[in-house]
Amino acid sequence: MDITKLLKPHKIAIVGASEKTGFGGDTCRNVMRYMTEGSCYFVNPRRGEVFGRKAYPSISDLPEPIDTVVICTPQSTVEDLLREAAAKGAGGAVVFASGYKEVGTEEGRAAQERLAALCRELDMALMGPNCAGFVNYVDMVYPFAFLSADRDRRGSVGMVSQSGQLCLSLMDSPSMRFSYVISSGNCAVVEMEDYLDFLVDDPDTRVVALYLEGVKNPAKFVSALRKAALKRKPIVVLKAGRSEKGAKQAASHTGSLAGADRVFDALFAKFGVVRVNDLEELLYTAQMFSVLPRLPERPAFASMNLSGGETGICADMGEAAGIEYPDFAPETLAKLREQLPGYASPANPLDMTASLSYDTELYAGAVRTVMSDPGVGMVLVGYTLLEEIADPAIEYMAPALERVSREPGAKPMAMLPFVGNTRNQKYLDMLEGCGVVMLPPPVYAFRILRYLADFIRYDSADHNLDVAVPERPRGGARCSLGEHEGKLLARRFGLSVPAEEVARSEEEAAAAARRIGFPVVMKIDSPDILHKSDCGCVKVNVRDAAAAGEVYRQIVFNAQKHHPDARINGILVQQTAQPGTEMIIGVASDPSFGPTVLVGLGGVFVEVFKDTALCLAPVSRAEAMSMAASLKGAKLLRGYRGAPALDMDGFVDAVLAVSDLAVHYKDTILEMDFNPVFLYEKGTCAVDAVVVSSAPLE
Amino acid sequence: MDITKLLKPHKIAIVGASEKTGFGGDTCRNVMRYMTEGSCYFVNPRRGEVFGRKAYPSISDLPEPIDTVVICTPQSTVEDLLREAAAKGAGGAVVFASGYKEVGTEEGRAAQERLAALCRELDMALMGPNCAGFVNYVDMVYPFAFLSADRDRRGSVGMVSQSGQLCLSLMDSPSMRFSYVISSGNCAVVEMEDYLDFLVDDPDTRVVALYLEGVKNPAKFVSALRKAALKRKPIVVLKAGRSEKGAKQAASHTGSLAGADRVFDALFAKFGVVRVNDLEELLYTAQMFSVLPRLPERPAFASMNLSGGETGICADMGEAAGIEYPDFAPETLAKLREQLPGYASPANPLDMTASLSYDTELYAGAVRTVMSDPGVGMVLVGYTLLEEIADPAIEYMAPALERVSREPGAKPMAMLPFVGNTRNQKYLDMLEGCGVVMLPPPVYAFRILRYLADFIRYDSADHNLDVAVPERPRGGARCSLGEHEGKLLARRFGLSVPAEEVARSEEEAAAAARRIGFPVVMKIDSPDILHKSDCGCVKVNVRDAAAAGEVYRQIVFNAQKHHPDARINGILVQQTAQPGTEMIIGVASDPSFGPTVLVGLGGVFVEVFKDTALCLAPVSRAEAMSMAASLKGAKLLRGYRGAPALDMDGFVDAVLAVSDLAVHYKDTILEMDFNPVFLYEKGTCAVDAVVVSSAPLE
């Protein structure tokens, strides 16, 4: 859907223009402050004038065509007004009214469906309903229903929020500057995904900030993320629903499907999307990307401070956040020893001592030295800039930073304050003007720097971006394959499994065991019995033909006793796999984003430590390798306590086989579990398999 | 040392009073602003007047005795001035000058020692040198060397900082209010521990905030912490040195011994000290304790917000921080359904919707309902109070909160803003005036609330507070006991060990094995061979007398081959312990705070997951139990996968035995390792022991 006319209109009309408090009045107040009279008409049948501007009795009475209509009046008036606006040429509409799907009643849902159908009929790009409107700071279009303090907010952060209240909070932050602020509301017509796509394309937007409650159009969402990943435009997302209570809250709030939160983590990891935890992180992270003149070439930081205490905080907090402070090169240290007072001991993080901060030339010299260190990607200047300047150090430091920032070979810089407060506007503007990012206090700052480091490290080429979004809604059935059938299927996609046969009599069991070679493992093969060991349906170490026959009888007896209704394919006679390190490879299918592949070390590692990694299918080789490396128990794979290292390439092959299988059946497979997969010095062997789908697999 | 005269002087003299920038001038500027003329004399031999106040040529010329002298002049003048001040009655002195121990030279160290000796001779309580002075906000005494914005900062947070720069940063925070701010400097005479002790006793100080680089006087430090724990006065500490780089930084900065950081965590846990990560946390945590009219009765929170997005953030961030949001009782839900609009769905965290926030009566009603829920200990009101008020909701909300706060049975409340900014002073004062805490934005806020919850849960009765601080410096030697001797020692303190004997010939080995019962384990017993298995010096499953003789020869041969110089006590013949769950109990002795006891699950749990818990000795039963419960693998002890639960009381007995042993030898034991200790359904058995001390154990 083309939403250019909606977001970049030449002429708009405010219907319900008023001087009272409320949507109509507050929108007029905003429009009056930020838009010229010619770009915006007021409509109110009961008033000739609003705030001294002419008010027209109806849309039809407007002197020229409009692009976008902004409807401040109640729900009951909306449909007629949309028809009238369409007749006047409008291709965009903003509807503030509530009473639609968000109220959770049948009536509300019906009203929203009617509204959507009307817009489709009129070819109208509608924002809302139940939204707060938008601000286009590029062309200064301001149909926004909430008031905030008067201030120049023009910048390059494009913001979409599924909550109007949070939009407003973000605008309230004194350091935030935008290209667009969009309160998307119920998304009856234009979807959040459309706004996202618009901002990813928009040349005036350097970074997209998104407050997300849920995704209704996964394919469109993924396509916008892919586009951003490939052009390396940062997307910063605050997504509600990490906790169970938060997920419930998000679902009830906009009626969107919250989805499994961990799947969103996997999705964002695939596309290099920065996921943050609260508004403050959202705004400072976005602002950082918009102020930085360019990304640091490496995710490695130098920290320069005026006191030992501050240097210690930067050291501790940086390490805790996983920030890399490379040791300075010998020539850097030598030069710093010349530049700093004798009692300073140069290191990274660096205590410069306060003495340099009162001399622009000396200070600039030290910054230059640190910046020229080959290991450093970005320089962090520790200094608490306050609104009211008591200590004049900044008068010397700020010009030094400005000067250095303009020199050839300058590296990105940020200023890190140690206490929270509003910052002095003059110096804030001066510093941000030359690309020095103003960070929030340390707990926030180091999280944000970690996001930056992760973004720098992200390379879209490492990831398979063709997410297997399901194309059809899945059926409601649950079909399980028997273990043997599951393994046969997985083997077709390249997974190594032990030699095995299904026997249907004692004699067949004995014969199969002889062919396979003793000792064998014998198990029930039934789609209806998942926990085979619990009911005596698995026997290991079956040593000869006579035992095989006896075990056959036993297992059939136990199966019939504990699961009288189970369908039984037979008894699986299986080669005894050499013992190896137990891994698990699993698949769960997300209804929105398709199959996710999970890997972990088996046994207590999964069960007690929950030590697993997740990736949305299809999984690339690099993704599979990094999943394995991210496990807390990964050191057990790399030759633990003198044991030989395990076959990580072989393990990756196994993961890719499972991923291929999951992608092939993306519309039907619900879950798969290969547990354990033995991992050896050379090769792997999946000794058990559970495959569940929503329809028989073709 | 009595430091009352220093910190609560009636008359002070500023030596080096001046109008220039620098210590003398800035101290005078501070004093002029905040102190009356009669309480403070200026001394300057070269000027008759400073800022219009009379300046005396020397201390001797002052018209009356003084309590405290503030020396703003350089190092070379200090000693004579101290003598002169002592003669004039001064019992306290503040010395700003640097050039002492902090410069790291022999000369600096000597100067500091001379200064300390002089003060002892004069019985003078000296603050510094190399400090920024202090402010006593209770009596308005202001000998502080740094300027900050003019503002009323009187409150009840007592602050001690080992960094002057950080003091200043804390004073810069607009919401911080103090009883005392003390920049302790090098602590040549009055130690940080003395200030801490003073503030713990001080009735005007409700909470102590401490920026700590190291502890020089562990016994005095522990005694102050104990006093605070018993009177339940909160101590909030920012301690540098969590990271390796931070620890190095702290050590180089004030020359204090940083100490193992994890030992500080254990120390703080024992005394309920709140440890924070940066200045912002330090100040907001301290401020919270000083504003709260009383501690919440339970560490359980209700969160009330005006929008779904904000509610989702509170749900997610609260869960991540380990905050408890109890489900509301049915009667609370029923009442909220009456009070809130129809589309709201009451839950905790609660989205009240914005509609209530414009009606004081309705809003107060909803707060009352939430507050009266029996599960709720404290109420969190989500609202972004800004300096410039655009949305008038606060005009209705603030009076509602004020009214409810004064009603009988009111519970503690805090306001949680969603973006960082300076807060409107009028409403800040109004809210804090009625005990409503103003929190920083969520990432900080929920960490701080977690500190509060932990402080509420802390009960000094659960802890053994008689920390075994070593009384003598330890010798430099390292003596190891043989395994058998180590176990005999531990058995005296109550640890269960297997039956075992040391054999000194093949015949003795066979005879011992017969007495003990086959199969036995045989090991080298030598204080010089720690890794016995690696060199073939351990044999398990020795099944008969002949084998015992043969194994004896083998082990002796292997020991002599791999460790030709080792002292060999003999071969330990040991009962084969029943296999159990492998635990470890270890001890390491901290030179400052004495023995620490470590427990963990053995094997990969310790080696891969570093899953251990630490407690300073002596360990109480409750401490031992909570150490075991805090292990990530704790669920393996409680009857994992249908196995019987293990004997936790028996395990606690074992931990206490090791703790008693460590305390008994607190001046000599360096480290001990009982690994593994088998833990059974009933009882324990320590099958190996390593004991290392700095002198032979008596």
Boundaries of every domain in chain B? 1-133, 292-462, 500-575, 581-693
Of B21, B282, B45, B41, nearest in space to B143 by CA: B41
| Torsion sign across C-alpha atoms B380, B386, B387, B392 | negative
Transcribe B235-298 into DSSP letters.
EEEEES-SSHHHHHHHHHHH------HHHHHHHHHHHTPEEESSHHHHHHHHHHHHH-SS--SS
The H-or-E segment that residue A674 falls in is strand A669-679
Overall fold of domain B500-575 = Dna Ligase; domain 1 (3.30.1490)
Segment 550-569 of chain A within 8 Å of chain B by CB: none
Q: At what angle do helices B192-201 and B218-231 cross, to 10 degrees?
A: 20
Search chain B and give the residue with CA nearest A176.
B419
Q: CB B168 to CB A244 under 8 A?
A: no
Of B606, B613, B611, B597, nearest in space to B658 by CA: B597
**For residue A357, is pLDDT > 90?**
no
Of A439, A449, A356, nearest in space to A400 by CA: A356
Q: CB A172 to CB B390 under 8 A?
A: yes
Q: Which of B249, B282, B343, B610 would best serve as a mutation to test chain A binding (most A beta carbons within 10 A)? A: B249
Enter the tokens of residue A388: 């009211």
Cα separation, B552 vs B573, in Å, equals: 9
Q: CB A240 to CB B173 under 8 A?
A: no
**For residue A252, is pLDDT > 70?**
no
Q: CB B245 to CB A213 under 8 A?
A: no
**A574-594, pLDDT tens digit by residue?**
999 999 999 999 999 999 999
Q: CB A307 to CB B281 under 8 A?
A: no
Range scoring the smallest mean pLDDT among A170-179, A223-232, B313-322: A170-179
Q: Region A640-664: what's the mean pLDDT?
A: 94
Search chain B and give the residue with CA nearest A342.
B103
Quick one: pLDDT at residue A502? 97
**For residue A129, is pLDDT > 80?**
yes
Cα separation, B668 vs B670, in Å, equals: 6
Structural contact between residues A604 and B636, judged by C-beta atoms closer than 8 angstroms: yes
ipTM score: 0.92
Quick one: pLDDT at residue B256? 42
The domain covering A1-130 belongs, at the CATH homologous superfamily level, to NAD(P)-binding Rossmann-like Domain (3.40.50.720)
Segment 349-408 of chain A within 8 Å of chain B by CB: 349, 351, 354, 384, 386-388, 390-391
- For chain B, what is the radius of gyration of the CA atoms? 31
Structural contact between residues A60 and A84, judged by C-beta atoms closer than 8 angstroms: yes
Q: Region B90-109: what's the mean pLDDT?
A: 93
Q: Region B409-423: what's the mean pLDDT?
A: 93
Q: CB A277 to CB B253 under 8 A?
A: no
The domain covering B1-133 belongs, at the CATH homologous superfamily level, to NAD(P)-binding Rossmann-like Domain (3.40.50.720)
| Contact partners, residue A453, CB within 8 Å, separation at least 6 | A299, A301, A322, A323, A324
**For residue A641, is pLDDT > 80?**
no
Phi and psi at A279, nearest 5°, equal -65, -40
Strand partners, B305: B351
**For residue A345, is pLDDT > 70?**
yes
All residues of chain A having their beta carbon less than 8 Å from the beta carbon of residue B440 are: 420
CATH number 3.40.50.261 given to B292-462:
yes
Mean pLDDT of chain B: 93
| Contact partners, residue A193, CB within 8 Å, separation at least 6 | A215, A216, A217, A220, A221, A224
Q: CB A390 to CB B242 under 8 A?
A: no
Residue A178: strand, helix, or coil = strand
Please report which confidence band the pLDDT of residue A251 belongs to, taking 50, 70 and 90 as the band edges: low
Please report which confidence band the pLDDT of residue A250 belongs to, taking 50, 70 and 90 as the band edges: low
Segment 470-509 of chain A within 8 Å of chain B by CB: none
Share of chain A above pLDDT 90, in %: 80
Chain A interface includes B286 (CB < 8 A): no
All residues of chain A having their beta carbon less than 8 Å from the beta carbon of residue B349 are: 245, 249
Quick one: pLDDT at residue A257? 42
Segment 312-341 of chain B within 8 Å of chain A by CB: 312-313, 315-320, 325
Q: Region A666-688: what's the mean pLDDT?
A: 95
Tokens 């427990």 belong to which residue? B599
Q: Taking CB atoms and an 8 Å cut-off, how many pairs form between chains A and B?
A: 279
For chain B, the farthest-separated pair of C-alpha atoms sits apart, in whole angstroms, at: 102
**For residue B25, is pLDDT > 90?**
yes
**A531-551, pLDDT tens digit by residue?**
888 889 999 999 999 999 999
- Which of these CATH numbers, 3.10.110.10, 3.40.50.261, 3.40.1190.20, 3.40.50.1860, describes A294-462? 3.40.50.261
CATH architecture of the domain with residue range A148-291:
3-Layer(aba) Sandwich (3.40)
**A45-100, pLDDT tens digit by residue?**
999 999 999 999 999 999 999 999 999 999 999 999 999 999 999 999 999 999 99
Q: CB B418 to CB A390 under 8 A?
A: no
Cα separation, A658 vs A468, in Å, equals: 14
Of A488, A253, A687, nearest in space to B354 by CA: A253
Search chain A and give the residue with CA nearest B387.
A422
Q: CB A384 to CB B169 under 8 A?
A: yes
**B626-648, pLDDT tens digit by residue?**
999 999 889 889 888 778 899 99
Closest to A165 (Cβ–Cβ): which among B249, B306, B441? B306
- Taking the CA of residue B277 and the nearest CA in chain A, the distance in Å comes to 7
Tokens 């949070």 belong to which residue? A166
Search chain A and give the residue with CA nearest B636.
A608
CA atoms within 13 A on the CB side of B433: 10
Q: CB B102 to CB A281 under 8 A?
A: no
Of A170, A366, A456, A347, nearest in space to B417 by CA: A170
Strand partners, A444: none
Please report which confidence band the pLDDT of residue B250 belongs to, taking 50, 70 and 90 as the band edges: low
Polymer length in residues for chain A: 698
Strands A40-43 and A12-15: parallel
Segment 600-619 of chain A within 8 Å of chain B by CB: 604, 607-609
The amino acid at residue A100 is Y
Search chain A and give the residue with CA nearest B321.
A243
Residue A641: strand, helix, or coil = helix
**B486-536, pLDDT tens digit by residue?**
999 999 999 999 999 999 999 999 999 999 999 999 999 999 988 888 889
Q: Which of A161, A169, A319, A350 would best serve as a mutation to test chain B binding (most B beta carbons within 10 A)? A: A169
**For residue A361, is pLDDT > 70?**
yes
**A441-499, pLDDT tens digit by residue?**
999 999 999 999 999 999 999 999 999 999 887 777 888 999 999 999 999 999 999 99
Closest to B278 (Cβ–Cβ): which among A351, A388, A418? A418
- What are all long-range contacts of B640-646, with beta carbons under 8 Å and residues at least 24 apart? B640/A608, B641/A607, B644/B681, B645/B681, B646/B580, B646/B581, B646/B679, B646/B680, B646/B681
**Residue A432 CA from chain centroid, whole number:** 27
**B426-446, pLDDT tens digit by residue?**
999 999 999 999 999 999 999
Q: Which of A316, A348, A416, A632 would best serve as a mutation to test chain B binding (most B beta carbons within 10 A)? A: A316
Report domain B581-693's class: alpha beta
Range scoring the smallest mean pLDDT among B110-124, B207-221, B344-358: B344-358
CATH number 3.30.70.920 given to A499-575:
no
Segment 149-178 of chain A within 8 Å of chain B by CB: 149, 161-166, 168-170, 172-174
All residues of chain B having their beta carbon less than 8 Å from the beta carbon of residue A258 are: none
The amino acid at residue B96 is F
The H-or-E segment that residue A330 falls in is helix A330-339
DSSP state of A505: S
Share of chain A above pLDDT 70, in %: 98
Task: List Cα–Cα distances, B287 to A386, B175, B196, B448, in angstroms.
Answer: 20, 8, 17, 11
Q: Do domains A499-575 and A581-693 have the same CATH topology?
A: no
| Contact partners, residue B240, CB within 8 Å, separation at least 6 | A309, A312, A313, A315, A316, B211, B212, B213, B246, B247, B249, B250, B253, B258
Cα separation, B64 vs A561, in Å, equals: 103
Q: Which of B98, B148, B165 would best serve as a mutation to test chain A binding (most A beta carbons within 10 A)? A: B165
Cα separation, A273 vs A16, in Å, equals: 40
Quick one: pLDDT at residue B609? 82
